[in-house]
């Protein structure tokens, strides 16, 4: 599962990517510094993993992770090939969720591709280009279905109705994530991979002085995204970059204290991206290893077992489940069993976030 960082050129995407992924993607004060997408695996911060590590004292601890993709900046006309448009849109299509960085600070030393600071306009530029591309997909699909209907095929009538509903939405310059679709309708269109249907987190990049209370720019963005079935996070990318450069733990804590920050905002962003991707975590716990495993919310035990190994899924017999809260309370599997808190669950058990699981299988 991938979350793609998008936005206009030169708004702080690559700098943010470096903070998230410990990568060294090139960033500079000019448009199209990024051409090929940078991809990094990002560990998901989880205090539960640290608590389990303290209790079990394993030889190694392995966190959950997600992929973050730093995608080249978009400009007006991208849907028609302007700038790096076609490549940009193709890279977005390969992601599962979007992190849209919006510049919400003034600084004459940092150029803006549109020459003025207006995050609402910037958002509309990106939205429009994605909407145009989605509209192209819809029109092609409608043409195909109409040809089938004229030839006497009637099976795609419902699909056509959904596409017409989508087209109507896009022609109003509205993103598809605001469109109410039922389960059947979503299943009909899932393979079309619409760009404006992807879940999105808007990141308002502010100056350090505006970090705690935001500014007029972030207020406007908040009003817009609250009606769009999306989320918003305010951070100062320049400050995150400074934090990232401090390697010594105590020096970093001192720096955070100076700015009255509990933790870098980039850690909150990672957790938000994790949820945006509809992901959750279960744990396996043993003396050799305590490990966080990533699965989709709603997966059953058998499917979750396959994340560890395909044989676990094929030969699934049962799962032994301990809640994270019970593990903290009783502190060992022996005590948990004595208290009757170890549950035996079958293949259809829906895994809960934080479950500690052991799978029995036979192949």
CATH of domain 2-276: 3.40.50.300
Gap between the Cα atoms of 29 and 11, Å rounded: 9
Q: How many helices (H) and strands (E) does the chain have?
A: 14, 12
Query: Quick check: 75 and 26 in contact, CB under 8 A?
Result: no
First-to-last C-alpha distance (Å) of the chain? 28
Residue with tokens 């733990």: 249
Length reported for the chain? 363
Per-residue pLDDT tens digits of the chain, which is 363 residues long: 789 999 988 888 888 988 887 654 444 433 444 445 688 888 999 999 999 999 999 999 999 999 998 887 776 664 565 444 456 678 888 899 999 999 999 888 887 777 889 999 999 999 998 999 999 999 999 999 998 888 877 778 889 999 999 999 999 999 999 999 999 999 999 999 999 999 999 999 999 999 889 999 999 999 888 888 889 999 999 898 888 888 888 888 898 888 888 888 888 899 999 999 999 999 999 999 999 999 999 999 999 999 999 999 999 999 999 999 999 999 999 999 999 999 999 999 999 999 999 999 997
Gap between the Cα atoms of 3 and 66, Å rounded: 8
Gap between the Cα atoms of 343 and 351, Å rounded: 12
The two three-digit tokens of residue 56, written as one number: 């079990």
**Can you say whether residue 249 is alpha, beta or left, with left for phi > 0 and alpha for psi between -120 and 50 degrees?**
alpha
Give Cα 295 to chain centroid, integer Å. 14
Q: What is the CA radius of gyration of the chain?
A: 23
Query: Quick check: 234 and 213 in contact, CB under 8 A?
Result: no
The CATH architecture to which 298-361 belongs is Roll (3.10)
Residue with tokens 């095929």: 153
In the chain, where the domains are located: 2-276, 298-361
């Amino acid at each position: 599962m991938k979350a793609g960082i998008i936005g206009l050129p030169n708004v702080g995407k690559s700098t943010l990517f470096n903070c998230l992924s410990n990568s060294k993607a090139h960033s500079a004060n000019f448009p199209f510094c990024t051409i090929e997408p940078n991809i990094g695996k990002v560990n998901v911060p989880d205090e539960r993993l640290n608590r389990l590590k303290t209790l079990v004292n394993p030889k190694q601890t392995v966190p959950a992770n997600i992929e973050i993709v730093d995608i080249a900046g978009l400009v007006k006309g991208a849907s028609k090939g302007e700038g790096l448009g076609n490549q940009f849109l193709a890279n977005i299509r390969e992601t599962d969720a979007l992190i849209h960085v919006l510049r919400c600070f003034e600084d004459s030393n940092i150029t803006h591709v549109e020459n003025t600071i207006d995050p609402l306009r910037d958002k509309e530029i990106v939205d429009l280009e994605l909407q145009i591309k989605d509209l192209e997909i819809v029109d092609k699909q409608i043409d195909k279905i109409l040809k089938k209907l004229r030839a006497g095929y009637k099976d795609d009538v419902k699909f056509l109705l959904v596409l017409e509903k989508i087209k109507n939405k896009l022609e109003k310059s509205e993103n598809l994530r605001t469109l109410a679709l039922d389960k059947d309708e979503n299943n009909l269109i899932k393979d079309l991979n619409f760009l404006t249907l992807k879940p999105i987190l808007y990141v308002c990049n502010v100056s350090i002085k505006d970090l705690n209370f935001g500014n007029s720019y972030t207020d406007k963005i908040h009003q817009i995204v609250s009606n769009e079935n999306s989320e918003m996070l305010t951070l100062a990318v320049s400050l995150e970059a400074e934090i990232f450069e401090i390697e010594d733990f105590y020096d970093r804590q001192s720096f955070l204290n100076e700015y009255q920050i509990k933790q870098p905002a980039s850690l909150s962003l990672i957790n938000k991206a994790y949820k945006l991707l509809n992901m959750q975590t279960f744990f396996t716990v043993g003396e050799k290893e305590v490990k966080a495993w990533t699965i989709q919310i709603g997966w059953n035990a058998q499917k979750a077992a396959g994340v560890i190994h395909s044989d676990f899924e094929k030969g699934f017999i049962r799962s032994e489940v301990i809640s994270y809260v019970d593990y903290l309370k009783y502190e060992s599997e022996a005590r948990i069993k004595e208290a009757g808190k170890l549950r035996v669950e079958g293949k259809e058990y829906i895994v809960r976030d934080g479950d500690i699981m052991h799978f029995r299988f036979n192949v």
